[in-house]
Amino acid sequence: MSKPENSEATTHFGYQEVPVAEKEQRVGDVFRSVAARYDVMNDIMSLGSHRLIKRYTIELSALRAGHKVLDLAGGTGDFSLQFSEIVGPSGQVILADINEAMLSVGRDRIIDKGMSGNIEVAQVNAEYLPFADNTFDCVCIAYGLRNVTDKEAALKSIQRVLKPGGRLLILEFSKPTNAIIGKSYDAFSKLWPIAGKLITGDADSYRYLVESIRMHPDQETLKQMMEDADLINCKYHNVMSGICAIHIGFKSH
């Protein structure tokens, strides 16, 4: 682990400690590099299971026609496309991401599928959401929170834009609860940079992905962070023995 020489505040970027101001740019570079092949790599790294997990997450959103949803760190628009069908023409989906390259892939995909009717695209920073208070029935952030520099600020910002009674869903890699599965998963994830090099020509981005997963808070810590951000009835569902976890929290009425 390398420490920067200056004394300014630092945060982690994978296993490295970097100045806070630098992390956003570094994460941006990672996602700009992988945007074009992001979905293909997801299929390879998860052996297709991410599709099942995403469907399960969508079920947990309990969305209905007419709801307004924020798909935060929505990138290539996987969730937005499905949310769009559920909320229907009377609802609205905002596909938001900090990274313009990921958003560009997502926006093109939405247009290609002819589903732009109730989906808006916005480039936003999760720590400072540019939406009015009490706007969304549901905010979903899938595989995005670990890349946010100030997670506490992002959770507070999300809590602010949720409607009273609205729900936050966080789908993220987490800590395996089974030692054998944990070891197997560790071994498997060491192959990701190799696969990344072969498919996208970029091993470093996938090395960051593996490291950032290890550095992400475990299930209980993230639940506590959600409660600290004034979300209530927080709970989590472990998926595949905790390799991923879906956290749910509500804004109080």
Size of the site for another protein (CB under 8 A): 20
Q: What share of the chain is helix, strand, coil (3-state, %, to 5)?
A: 50, 25, 30
Our finding on whether 238 is near another protein (CB under 8 A) is: yes
Could you say which of 20, 21, 62, 111 contacts another protein (CB under 8 A)?
A: 62
| 66 to 85: interface string for another protein, x by CB under 8 A | -------------------x
Closest CA to 78 of 54, 99, 94, 56: 54
CA distances from 5 to 1, 18, 19, 142, 155 (A): 13, 10, 10, 34, 30
Our finding on whether 64 is near another protein (CB under 8 A) is: yes
Residue 137 phi/psi, 5° resolution?
A: -75, -30
| 141 to 180: interface string for another protein, x by CB under 8 A | --------------------------x-------------
Smallest separation (angstroms) from another protein to the CB of 249: 11
Residue (167 or 207) nearer to another protein, CB:
167
Between CA 99 and CA 80 the distance in angstroms is 16
β-strand pairing of 231-239 with 92-97: unpaired
Could you say which of 22, 26, 36, 86 contacts another protein (CB under 8 A)?
A: 86
Residue 13's identity, in one-letter code, is: F
Our finding on whether 232 is near another protein (CB under 8 A) is: no
Q: Segment near another protein (CB under 8 A), from 12-20, 33-41, 184-192, 236-244?
A: 236-244
Between CA 147 and CA 154 the distance in angstroms is 11
Between CA 157 and CA 152 the distance in angstroms is 9
Our finding on whether 233 is near another protein (CB under 8 A) is: yes
Our finding on whether 185 is near another protein (CB under 8 A) is: no
* Site residues (vs another protein, CB under 8 A): 52-53, 55-56, 59-60, 62, 64-65, 85-86, 88, 167, 233, 237-241, 250
